[in-house]
Structure 1
Amino acid sequence: MHSVVRPNAWVALKLPSGSTKVIQIAPNTTISLGKYGSFPSNLIIGRPYHLTFELQDKLPNETFSRLRVVPADELYAEVFAEEAGPGCATPDAAGANDTVISTTDGEEFSLVDDKGNVVARSNREVLDENARQTLTQDEIEELKREGTNAGKDVIAKLLLSHTALDQKTSFSLAKYKLLKTKKYIRRFQVLPIDVENLAHWQLEERDASKIMDMRAEMIGLVGCWGNVHYGGDEVFLPDPKTSSAEGAGACVPVDRDVLKGRWLAVDDTCGLLVAAMAERMGILYEGENTESEVKAEEHKGMATEQAPARSEIPEKPQSNTPATESTQKDGDAEMTDAPTKPVKRESDVKPKQLNPRPSDFATPYSQTNTITVIHATSQPNLSLLNYWGFDITAPNHPPHPLLNHLLTLSWLQLLKPELDTAYSTPPPTATPETLASWKPSRRGNFHRKRRRYARIRHIVDSTRTGNFSGLVCASTMDPISILRHTLPLLAGGAPVAIYSPSVESLAALADCFSVPRRTAWVSGAAPEIEGMSNEELERWPGNERFPLNPTLLQGVSIQTSRARRWQVLPGRTHPLMTERGGADGYVFTAWKAIPAEGKVAAKGKFKRRKVESEAATPAAA
């Protein structure tokens, strides 16, 4: 992930009210924060993330608001003051001038100073905020329009104009100030778009059903129980270097031994699940120095080409002034250190040789550290990946880590690839002479069809080969039907993690692998499986009593988790009583097992140990 804000990057702006605004930082534009104001986008480009900015007042000769970085000591000034003040000291050292008055009817305590002024009072009286605030709404709006000191003056005048401020407890005073600060302070924090921030924004402020009500806790559970991690360095198949006259037989066959560190995914969350997996695997964010290194190489190449030749160096002046002498010495040193190579003219310089383009049947995908997504439509819906600079629909996509590590195929291509025309239709062929006689557009379509055939062929064949390291699923489909076709593709010991907004479908799935079903399976309750091998039992379609082979998964469990938010104020620290509604979400977890062929029996010699009491009985007799 980048540490600074880049042009055209998506960022999350956290506002004082607690809401989040996700925008794309386009250069030379104006970013509006609603009632808090607006500022030019160039003021945060190149700045680090996680900084808190304050919108300053407009200068007389400027039409925009400048930004000020709020330091940490100013952000947490009240916390530091409370820690250093008498409130956190022991009761004996609370202060000699503080006096606690005994309680009266309806009061718990009253704290006054040495002059008799009430500092804080705790009582059961209900304060009417509108009656105790002397500022009218028109006066408050006028203060807001003036916009002085980033809203801090409005908060200060509201506190000074409150007639019952001395009757508030420390808790109510802190809560009152916090509410006014959230409403009027003109500050915001710039956060990077990671999976957690985007999921929270979609869940709280956008359409929660788009991501199946998937909270951050569920994303963490699915990733952990699915054991999603970095799967190894990139490994590519060799280029077959085929000609245009060769057909499908020239494709590079799939090597099962090379396929490692791959995960199978079924994603109906518009790409949020894939993004969470890619983040764990290190293939979601673009490299930090990718563009800078490319620009440096281009600049270096341009500087080399534009360097003046030896014959273009001007002659040294003949005067003997000090400046001239130093110039002559520098020039002599430069001429001495320069290599004595023949001068190359611009016409003699050869153009930069580019890497040869791979053949049509070259496999562009890595064999390790990949995510294979199975979808039910003609094209997968992974629209949320656009926030990380990856567009699944772009035909000529710029370089991105997901290009070589994200593979997609439909259920039709997985189950019956011969019915898919893109897989079963052989690629077009043409001799080099015929290809040279075509128009450029026709030649482009010819190569495009051959490359598409090679990509689809490799994705389908490698997926059907199996040996996946795990299965992660978040789909509206029946999980039993998903596992019926994906379990045979998993390697032994591979984890399975399935998310569902409701628990009913997962409970039915867990019942398929219960102990009674497994016992009935082993005792021969399914006569149609007699004589089948393990490979045939893995792909057995099931029946009404046994929807799935109950011996294929071990350690089946269903779990959920929710991290509650807390209110932290003086004297009032407790979890919030109200939370967001909607689905809680549940995760089904298990591990793929490969049953042993035949019956398992214990073998060996077993010798009964003699108990001391038994050995002592004959001696006593």
Structure 2
Amino acid sequence: MHSLVEPNSWVVLRLPSGNLRVLQVTPNTTTSLGKYGSFPTNLIIQRPYNLIYELLDRQPDEKFNRLRIVPAAELYADIISSDANTPTSEDATPAPEAEGDGDGDTPPTGVEYSLVDSNSGTVVATTNRVEIDASARQTLSLKEIEALKKDGTDAGRELIARLMLSHTAIDQKTEYSLAKYKLLKTRKYIKRFSVLPLDVPMLNYWTLEDKDATKIMDMREEMIALLGCWANVHFGGSDPCEAQPVAKIKQEGEDTNMEQQPESVQTSSSPGRWLVVDDTCGLLVAAMAERMGILYASEADKLAKEQRGAKYSNSKQGDSSGGQQPVSKDGEDQIRPPVKQNDDVEVKREPEEATLQKSPTATHKRSPERRKDDVLLYAHANTITHIHSNSQPNLSFLRYYDFDITNPTPSPYHPLAKRLMSLSWLQLLEPDLDPTYGSPPPNVTPEELYSWKTNRRSAFHRKRKRWARTRHIIETARKGEFSGLVVASAMDPISIMQHAVPLLAGGAPIAIYSQSIEPLTELADCYSLQRRAAWATNIPEEVAGKTLEEQEQWPGNEEFPLNPSLVLSASIQTSRVRKWQVLPGRTHPMMSSRGGAEGYVFTAWKVKPAEGKVEARGKLRSRKRKVDDQSAA
């Protein structure tokens, strides 16, 4: 996560009322804060996060509001003043002249008047308006409050000071009641906000509190942390073959049949491959990607993307000049026609001397370079394989991190482009029934391919690349050897474990989240100690005589819904972080909090059963003989 607000990034604005607003920082636009006002978005770009801004009054010659960074001394003025020796009189007393913030944006405020609590000596309100002191004991009417709100002077501080000073029973309030009253009025009228980064915890909090919590299955931040810890989600190491393509389709010189499978991938020696079933709109995938270090694009990737965009814009400008490029050769200006790039051939520029020496009657030969749709840029390690139950994966929350899963050609500069693979349950269990996997592109000769029109040839390459990508994802997923399994789904966990456990490597952790405890209790009973004892003493007849690989694929029966010998240490747990009010002498948990599902996590480990029976070897010494030896000694 970057420490500065980047252009076109998603941020969270925390308003004085405590509400959150998620928006995209688009340059050269205006950001509206509703009743508080608006400001140019460029004022917060390339600024640090977690700063508190204040909307200044609009100048007569300007059409927008400027921002002022509120210093820490002003934010904690009440706390600092409570420790100092301040006057105890309720009457407004003049304070020393306040200085500006040093940046030249705001002039000195001049004489400042303060309202001090008589019991604690705390400064309740401060202002530099003399007329407020004159009417300190007058009660404001609703019409006067609305007039002050329309004026919008002093970022709302004048209105707050008037409300505090016009309160006739202000001297009767206790210290806690006075602080609560001031906080209530400040949240209602002050024109301040803060810019926060939209990381995974903030996205989870915003969805729970302000949006629809059912989209993420009421999953709290502590539940996400438990899933990541128990599944041992971490950076799985750099890809040793990252510079090489994962799979490719053989060239016409090797075999012209396009229905062949891509080259096999060694998944058993590839660490950091996690299997995930996510029904939380991508929140769980985003949390796992953040722990694995592949959620945010690096600075090198962003720089390469910017350079490519600048190069593309320059090429477009060059094409608009007529489509011809001047070439200087021996002092003469010559015009070279533009090189037309085909969709299936990578054009390689040659030196100018070789170009000029060629005969104009020479025929164009097809470049032997590999076509662009022959290469599948997927990583071997540190990847996430997502299984969904829909026609398209629902990972909409990833768009807040500049990744669109619905785009058939995502940006190659984002880490998730080559490390996030998604497939449906149909593609995993019955791949031949999938229309994309089961209908490979036809066998077309190069001569016939070049005779097609550009649109038809482009459609053929898109279909061929989509088929190769789908086939690679399905084949690598069915080979298994995943490092862990993470589930947050409304599906029956028993049915998920039946098909997902055989895909895990030995010792892989398992973490499953459920809103209620009943489905996880049934799952834990399938792997209980009593089930394993019954399995060892009376193995089902349909499993007897089968190999370990065949036993893992066993669908189960009524007595044994799952093979209990494949999972150990099954347990269920939950956790909830309670909010506390911390005040001197008044520390206690908050009596009211958000409701919703409690949430539970099932944890276990995949094991490989030993072949045959475990036998104890060695000489067994009887107890009677041991007692006789001790008595003789």
The TM-score bracket by the shorter chain reads 0.7 to 0.9
* Equivalence for 1:573: 587
Kindly tell me: are residues 404 and 300 of structure 1, through their superposed partners in 2, closer, same or farther at Cα, counting changes over 3 Å?
Answer: closer
- TM-score by length of structure 1 reads 0.81
- Retained in 1: the 8 A contact 2:247–2:472? no
Match for 1:479 among 493, 496, 502?
493
Q: TM-score, normalised by structure 2?
A: 0.79
Give the counterpart letter for 1:266 in structure 2: V
2:267 matches 1:256: yes
1:542-581 alignment to 2 at 5 Å? 542-581=556-595
- Indicate the SS of the match to 2:373: coil
Corresponding residue of 2:390:
377
Give the aligned residue type for 2:402.
G
Asked if structure 2 preserves the Cα contact closer than 8 Å seen for 1:213 and 1:582, the reply is yes
Name the counterpart of 1:469.
483
CA contact (8 A) 1:251 1:361 kept: no
> What is the CA–CA distance in structure 1 between the aligned matches of 2:27 and 2:312, rounded to whole Å?
27
CA–CA distance in 1 between the matches of 2:55 and 2:595?
Answer: 35
Give, in angstroms, the shift of residue 294 of structure 1. Answer: 5.2
Given that 1:2 and 1:287 are in contact with CA atoms closer than 8 Å, whether structure 2 keeps it comes out as no
CA distance in 2, matches of 1:208, 1:18: 18
| 1:11-410 matches, cutoff 5 A | 11-82=11-82, 84-85=83-84, 119=119, 134-234=139-239, 235=241, 236-237=245-246, 239-240=248-249, 242-243=251-252, 245-249=256-260, 251-292=262-303, 295=306, 358-399=371-412, 400-410=414-424
DSSP 3-state at the match of 1:562: coil
Q: CA deviation at 1:376?
A: 1.1
- In structure 1, give the amino acid aligned to 2:531: R
- Tell me by how many angstroms 1:43 deviates: 1.2
Find the counterpart in structure 1 of residue 506 from structure 2. 492
The change in CA–CA distance for 1:489 and 1:302 in structure 2 (over 3 A counts) is closer
Give SS of 2:24's match.
strand
Quote how far apart the aligned CAs of 1:521 are: 1.1
The answer to whether the 8 A contact 1:258-1:368 is kept is no
Retained in 2: the 8 A contact 1:174–1:570? no
1:492 deviates by 0.5
Structure-2 residue corresponding to 1:104: none
Aligned amino acid, residue 603 of structure 1: R
Query: Closer, same or farther in 2 for the Cα pair 1:584/1:358, shift >3 Å?
Result: farther
Which residue matches 1:333?
none
Deviation at 1:610, TM superposition (A): 11
Tell me the SS of whatever aligns to 2:415.
coil
CA-CA distance at 1:26 after TM superposition:
1.8
- 1:120, CA displacement in angstroms? 5.8
Deviation at 1:41, TM superposition (A): 1.2
Partners of 2:21 and 2:471 in 1: CA distance: 42
293-302 or 259-268: bigger deviation: 293-302
* Backbone CA RMSD of aligned residues: 3.2
SS in 2 for 1:591: strand
SS, match of residue 278 in structure 1: helix
Hey, what does 2:518 align to over in structure 1? 504
- State the secondary structure of the residue aligned to 2:290: helix
Cα deviation 1:177-217 (Å, max 9, x = unaligned): 11111111111111111111111111111111111111111
2:443 is aligned with 1:429:
yes
Secondary structure at the counterpart of residue 587 of structure 1: strand
Over 3 Å counting, the alpha-carbon distance change for 1:502 and 1:250 in structure 2 is closer
Distance 1:366 1:523 in 2: 44
Gaps of 5+ in 1: 88-94, 98-116, 122-131, 304-341
Give 2:148's aligned amino acid: L
In the alignment, is the contact (CA less than 8 A) between 1:250 and 1:361 conserved in 2? Answer: no
> How many angstroms apart in 1 are the aligned matches of 2:88 and 2:178?
23
Q: Within 2, Cα distance between the matches of 1:233 and 1:49? A: 30
Q: Is the 8 A contact 2:227 2:512 kept in 1?
A: yes
Query: What is the alpha-carbon distance in structure 1 between the residues aligned to residue 520 and residue 198 of structure 2?
Result: 31
Displacement of 1:66: 0.6
- Deviation, structure 1 residue 515: 1.2
How big is the shift at 1:144? 1.7
Cα distance in 1, alignment partners of residues 74 and 88 from structure 2: 29
Q: Tell me, yes or no, if the aligned pair for 1:428 and 1:446 is still in contact at 8 Å.
A: no
Partner of 1:337: none
Q: Is the 8 A contact 1:268 1:475 kept in 2?
A: yes
Structure 2: segments with no counterpart, 5+ residues: 90-116, 122-136, 315-328, 340-346, 350-366
Could you list the per-position Cα deviations for residues 260-310 of structure 1 after superposition, in whole angstroms to 9, with x for gaps in the alignment? Answer: 31110111111111111111111111123433455568889999xxxxxxx
User: What is the one-letter code of the residue matched to 1:159?
Assistant: M
SS in 1 for 2:614: coil
Contact 2:16 2:190 in 1 (8 A): yes
d(CA) in 1 for partners of 2:604 and 2:387? 20
The answer as to whether partners of 1:268 and 1:474 remain within 8 angstroms in 2 is: yes
Check conservation: 1:241, 1:362, Cα contact below 8 A. no
Provide the C-alpha distance between the structure 1 equivalents of 2:614 and 2:474, rounded to a whole number of angstroms: 36
Amino acid at match of 1:466: G
Q: Deviations over 1:193-243 (max 9, x none)?
A: 111111111111111111111111111111111111111213343645524
| 1:467–1:345 CA distance, 2 compared to 1 (3 A) | farther
Q: What amino acid does structure 2 have at the position aligned with 1:544?
A: E
Q: Distance in 1 between matches of 2:527 and 2:302?
A: 51
Q: Which has the higher contact order (CA 8 A, sep 6+)?
A: 1
Aligned match of 1:309? none
Distance in structure 1 (CA, Å) of the matches to 2:259 and 2:175 = 78
**2: CA distance, partners of 1:561 / 1:72:** 35
Structure-2 separation of matches of 1:363 and 1:252: 11
Q: Which residue matches 1:590?
A: 604
Q: Share of identical aligned residues, percent?
A: 57
Q: Deviations over 1:448-490 (max 9, x none)?
A: 1211111111111100100000000111100000000000000
Mean alpha-carbon deviation: is it higher for 425-434 or for 455-464?
425-434
TM-superposed deviation, 1:137: 2.2
Secondary structure of residue in 2 paired with 1:248: coil
Distance 1:208 1:47 in 2: 31
| Between 436-445 and 238-247, the greater mean CA deviation after superposition | 238-247
**In 2, Cα distance between equivalents of 1:44 and 1:616:** 85
Q: CA deviation at 1:574?
A: 2.1
Q: CA deviation at 1:363?
A: 2.2
Residue by residue over 1:411-454, the C-alpha shift from the partner in whole angstroms, topping out at 9 and shown as x without a partner, is 11111112223212232221111111110011111111211111
Residues 296 and 437 of structure 1, relative CA distance in 2, 3 Å threshold: closer
Q: Supply the AA of the counterpart residue of 1:360.
A: D
Structure 1: which amino acid aligns with 2:601?
Answer: V
Structure 2 contact 510–606 (Cα < 8 Å) conserved: yes
Residues 568 and 345 of structure 1: CA distance in aligned 2, closer, same or farther (over 3 Å): farther
| Secondary structure in structure 2 of the residue aligned to 1:528 | coil
Q: Is the 8 A contact 2:235 2:292 kept in 1?
A: yes
Cα distance in structure 2, aligned partners of 1:432 and 1:259: 36
Separation of aligned partners in 2, 1:7 and 1:501: 38
